Amino acid sequence: MKKILLTLSLLSFATLVYSQVNFYKIGLGAGIGTTISYADVQENSQGYAGYVTADYNLTAFASVGLEFQAGKINGGNIITNPHNRQFKNNYNALTLNGKVALGQFIDYERNNFLNVIKGLYLGVGIGAIKNKMNYIVRYKPNTQAEFPPLGYEFPGQDKSTELLMPVNLGMNFYFKDSYDQLRYILNINCQGNVTFGEGLDGYNDSLAIFSNKSPDLYSFLSVGIKYNFGPVGISKRIF
């Protein structure tokens, strides 16, 4: 009797804690969105960008992959900025990202609300950004006699390459194919990017009046699509 009870208990436990999900291991995606700069100028301006991704799906809800991003990051205003500073950066960025979604940890099959939010994910990455100033105000108008004829020159570089760390918060909406597999994904993503340098806005002035004391940041809010294909994997989720 004890052996029978023990066997039934083990079978019941195994049934409760494991759930199997099939998934495609390769994913390609693309999307567009808007950028907002948070740099050393006081005015945060909106730009635009696009991206493409190539991911390897470790499970149905966890992945690692490359993202290439290109677009514009703008900031400043020559009229309202007290130092007449303004920049327009045509940038490219390449990052390696890891992401994991809520579906990796929850039993969404028995709850409609959890099924809707199973694609909510967090991610972090590392990479590089290449900055190129399409336009930048390099000289403050001459208001003091000790400055050269063109005025005070703002230090900085028009071109630079820096280390970049993206942090992602987003939502995947999954759509199945005729084989009942998670083939298509609609993605909404909010990405915060920390740059390790002073090249994002092209200004690198040590004077205290410019408050150049923190890393340059920019956000990227995007919408995109992803197509999964390739070998089919089987993952088990533990609850």
pLDDT value for 215: 85
Query: What's the one-letter identity of residue 36?
Result: I
Report d(CA 64, CA 31) in Å as an integer: 18
In eight-state DSSP terms, residue 158 is S
Confidence of residue 162 (pLDDT cuts 50, 70, 90): very high
Mean local confidence (pLDDT), 198-215:
77
Q: How many CB atoms lie within 10 A of CB 46?
A: 14
pLDDT value for 5: 47
SS3 91: strand
Confidence of residue 180 (pLDDT cuts 50, 70, 90): confident
pLDDT per residue as tens digits for the range 73-94: 999 887 777 778 899 999 999 9
Higher pLDDT, 82 or 171: 171
Report d(CA 176, CA 133) in Å as an integer: 43
pLDDT at 8 over 60: no
Mean local confidence (pLDDT), 97-126:
94
What mean pLDDT value characterizes the chain?
Answer: 86
pLDDT at 145 over 80: no
In eight-state DSSP terms, residue 210 is G
Q: Provide the percentage of residues in the chain whose pLDDT is more than 70.
A: 82
pLDDT at 171 over 80: yes
Q: What is the torsional sign of CA 221, 227, 232, 238?
A: positive
SS3 11: helix
SS3 215: coil
pLDDT at 208 over 90: no
Instruction: Please name the residues in contact with 14: beta carbons below 8 A apart, sequence gap of 6 or more.
Output: none
In eight-state DSSP terms, residue 79 is T
CA distances from 99 to 12, 66, 105 (A): 32, 11, 13
Whose structure tokens read 């942090």? Answer: 167
Report d(CA 100, CA 169) in Å as an integer: 10
SS3 131: strand
pLDDT value for 144: 52
